[in-house]
Chains A and B, each alone.
Chain A
């Protein structure tokens, strides 16, 4: 994440890369052989599946029997179906709310800890707890908690006079916000750690100078901290957008895409299309379109990381 792998070679490795004599030649040969197993795994589990997916997207297949080639029909099916656009829209909503909420909360929390708030050492440990728990489990917990009348959240809302009867998950207008909340709740810990790492690299003298000039903690946060960590902030945001866009588990565990298709996102739509309805061709086409967008976003993130590393 801190882009250590993309950094240019150090002096030591440059010396290593231009070795001399028979030892080096033997060494180069060993290296060549040693990289074969890893290379084969990448080929078999990443390259081949994508080629196979392209082939499937141009065919019809029900899960059993042979595939039939039909050309671009599946892409036309995908691109003319309302469900597909609905899913993309919901994915964008979750990406904006989930990633936005995560980064905002994490930035505030990281600023508190890097400002050495009392209890910082404990907070640093505790705030990561939600991130380490399995997404499926915490999603099930929050889904149970927002049940009308019986759920913990609704009982709490009732106790403070806001009413305990709202069925958050069966109301198409509110279900997606519950999912966005859980994404933020689960995502903050990781974003917090990365942003904290960036904030701790800001020299203390910068803050002290600003404080001497009379800048309050708020204005230092907006005028010094945020601008100085902007590259890391951008990467963390982009990563969270990708994860939220990609997120199957939260949606599946909390609403299964419902009520109706009010929270259907691309991964759940593709899952249903292929593995529930046995309609693999259109599912493959949707995966290629949606996955392609994500891959481009991911490559952009990598470019950003590389610039930070250099």
Chain B
């Protein structure tokens, strides 16, 4: 505490100024997004920040929900994103925790090799994979299929999921496992009935990280989801830019739907989220 006192007045003022400026820069855009989502396009241009005597227009959300004529709209985008997120978060958690647990039991040599491979996949740029995914899914008739996209996401988030959970399982008390073995539980039963319930914390943290990454993923989705009605939320927003040129209010409504839910989830669970991120969960 004595640190700030010793820092000297000019430095302290500079520090607080910096902190306040960055806070405004970080927070204000989201407030503007919500505010403008309720204003008609003409008011967004003429009086964006006014709060009194404004002709509010919640209709923007209806426009965003229905989408432009013949297009997608958030009615589709949200459902597609939820389908994609549920499948990919669920599957990556099941396969990832299973792989991570048994990897933590493997010999040191196997573990070293597996971890080296996983680390290389985490730095493999998507650009090296994308065209081949397109070719394969085109051949299989799976383009514009959110479920197929979810399967790709499972694979893309799996290495990080395994790496994070593996380091957690390494510290898992061996006594519990041995006790389960003495009780006659096989390794698989031990994993499901003893280990998994005790690792809820890390599982939730990893699930949330994967969720944030999947909610915002653009580069793979824009290639795999060709038809308007198969779009996920971020891809839908990018399409809105072209389709809603004269209805900026609807775009802001879309931005609100795309950002505010994840921000709320983060604000509620920020401890777990930041812990998980410190453990290593980011998309490329």
Is the beta-carbon distance between B238 and A136 smaller than 8 angstroms?
Answer: yes
Report A163 CB to chain B, min CB distance, Å. Answer: 17
Task: Check if A291 is an interface residue, CB within 8 A of chain B.
Answer: yes
Q: Mark A212-248, 1 if CB is under 8 A from B, else 0.
A: 0000111000000000000000000001001100101
Is the beta-carbon distance between A136 and B218 smaller than 8 angstroms?
Answer: yes
Is the beta-carbon distance between A135 and B218 smaller than 8 angstroms?
Answer: yes
Task: Check if A109 is an interface residue, CB within 8 A of chain B.
Answer: yes
Neighbouring A residues of B114 by C-beta, 8 Å: 35
Is the beta-carbon distance between B23 and A127 smaller than 8 angstroms?
Answer: yes
Task: Check if B203 is an interface residue, CB within 8 A of chain A.
Answer: no
Stretch at the interface among B55-63, B67-75, B153-161: B153-161
Q: B residues engaging A (CB < 8 A)?
A: 1-4, 6-8, 11, 15-16, 18-19, 22-23, 25-27, 29-30, 32-33, 44-45, 48, 95-96, 98-99, 101-108, 110-111, 114-115, 117-136, 138, 152, 154-156, 158-159, 162-164, 166-167, 170-171, 174, 181, 186-188, 212, 215-216, 218-219, 222-223, 233-235, 237-238, 240-241, 248, 251-252, 255, 258-259, 262-263, 266-267, 270, 273-274, 277-282, 284
Neighbouring A residues of B270 by C-beta, 8 Å: 125, 128
How far does the alpha carbon of A248 sit from the alpha carbon of B222 in the complex, in Å?
Answer: 11
Task: Check if A295 is an interface residue, CB within 8 A of chain B.
Answer: yes
Is the beta-carbon distance between B174 and A16 smaller than 8 angstroms?
Answer: yes
**In terms of DSSP, what is the predominant structure of the interface of chain A?**
helix
Neighbouring A residues of B152 by C-beta, 8 Å: 45
Q: Can you list 27 A-B pairs, Cβ within 8 angstroms, ordered by A?
A: A5-B119, A12-B170, A14-B108, A16-B174, A31-B103, A31-B187, A38-B158, A44-B155, A45-B156, A53-B132, A105-B22, A115-B7, A128-B270, A130-B29, A132-B263, A133-B263, A134-B233, A135-B218, A137-B258, A138-B29, A155-B48, A185-B25, A242-B123, A242-B125, A271-B223, A280-B131, A284-B131
Q: Which of B44, B133, B258 has the most CB of A within 10 A?
A: B258
How far does the alpha carbon of A6 sit from the alpha carbon of B114 in the complex, in Å?
Answer: 11
* Among candidates A16, A34, A108, residue contacting B98 with C-beta atoms closer than 8 Å: A34
Q: Mark A1-27, 1 if CB is under 8 A from B, else 0.
A: 110111101101111110000010001
Report A223 CB to chain B, min CB distance, Å. Answer: 15
Neighbouring A residues of B171 by C-beta, 8 Å: 10, 12
8 further contact pairs, Cβ within 8 A, besides A249-B216, A294-B125: A12-B170, A14-B108, A38-B158, A127-B23, A129-B263, A134-B233, A144-B248, A218-B11
* Among candidates A7, A35, A49, A123, residue contacting B99 with C-beta atoms closer than 8 Å: A35
Report A298 CB to chain B, min CB distance, Å. Answer: 3
Is the beta-carbon distance between A56 and B118 smaller than 8 angstroms?
Answer: no
Neighbouring A residues of B219 by C-beta, 8 Å: 248-249, 267, 271
Task: Check if A86 is an interface residue, CB within 8 A of chain B.
Answer: no
Given A115-B7, A218-B11, does the pair A295, B119 have CB atoms closer than 8 Å? no
How far does the alpha carbon of A105 sit from the alpha carbon of B155 in the complex, in Å?
Answer: 34
Is the beta-carbon distance between A243 and B216 smaller than 8 angstroms?
Answer: no
Report A308 CB to chain B, min CB distance, Å. Answer: 13
Q: A residues engaging B (CB < 8 A)?
A: 1-2, 4-7, 9-10, 12-17, 23, 27-28, 30-31, 34-35, 37-38, 41-42, 44-46, 48-50, 52-53, 56, 63, 105, 108-109, 112, 115-119, 123-130, 132-138, 140-145, 149-150, 152, 155, 185, 188-190, 193-194, 197, 207-208, 211, 216-218, 239, 242-243, 246, 248-249, 252-253, 266-267, 270-271, 274-275, 280, 283-284, 287-288, 290-292, 294-295, 297-299, 301-302
How far does the alpha carbon of A119 sit from the alpha carbon of B15 in the complex, in Å?
Answer: 12
Is the beta-carbon distance between A295 and B129 smaller than 8 angstroms?
Answer: no
Q: Top 8 closest A-B pairs, CB basis?
A: A298-B123, A134-B216, A49-B132, A45-B155, A38-B99, A34-B102, A136-B234, A291-B128
Is the beta-carbon distance between A248 and B27 smaller than 8 angstroms?
Answer: no
Chain A residue at smallest Cβ distance from B186: A30
Q: Which of A31, A123, A284, A295 has the most CB of B within 10 A?
A: A31
Neighbouring B residues of A7 by C-beta, 8 Å: 167
Is the beta-carbon distance between A35 and B103 smaller than 8 angstroms?
Answer: yes
Neighbouring A residues of B134 by C-beta, 8 Å: 274-275
Neighbouring A residues of B27 by C-beta, 8 Å: 126, 129
Is the beta-carbon distance between A127 and B11 smaller than 8 angstroms?
Answer: no
Is the beta-carbon distance between A35 and B284 smaller than 8 angstroms?
Answer: no
Chain B residue at smallest Cβ distance from A127: B26
Is the beta-carbon distance between A12 and B174 smaller than 8 angstroms?
Answer: yes
How far does the alpha carbon of A240 sit from the alpha carbon of B260 in the complex, in Å?
Answer: 25
How far does the alpha carbon of A100 sit from the alpha carbon of B96 in the complex, in Å?
Answer: 34
How far does the alpha carbon of A23 sit from the alpha carbon of B222 in the complex, in Å?
Answer: 50
Chain B residue at smallest Cβ distance from A36: B99
Chain A residue at smallest Cβ distance from B138: A63
* Among candidates A23, A41, A123, A144, residue contacting B155 with C-beta atoms closer than 8 Å: A41
How far does the alpha carbon of A144 sit from the alpha carbon of B163 in the complex, in Å?
Answer: 39
Report B19 CB to chain A, min CB distance, Å. Answer: 5
Given A4-B167, A267-B127, does the pair A109, B7 have CB atoms closer than 8 Å? no
How far does the alpha carbon of A129 sit from the alpha carbon of B25 in the complex, in Å?
Answer: 10
Q: Which of B122, B152, B238 has the most CB of A within 10 A?
A: B238
Report B267 CB to chain A, min CB distance, Å. Answer: 7
Report A252 CB to chain B, min CB distance, Å. Answer: 7
Neighbouring B residues of A15 by C-beta, 8 Å: 174
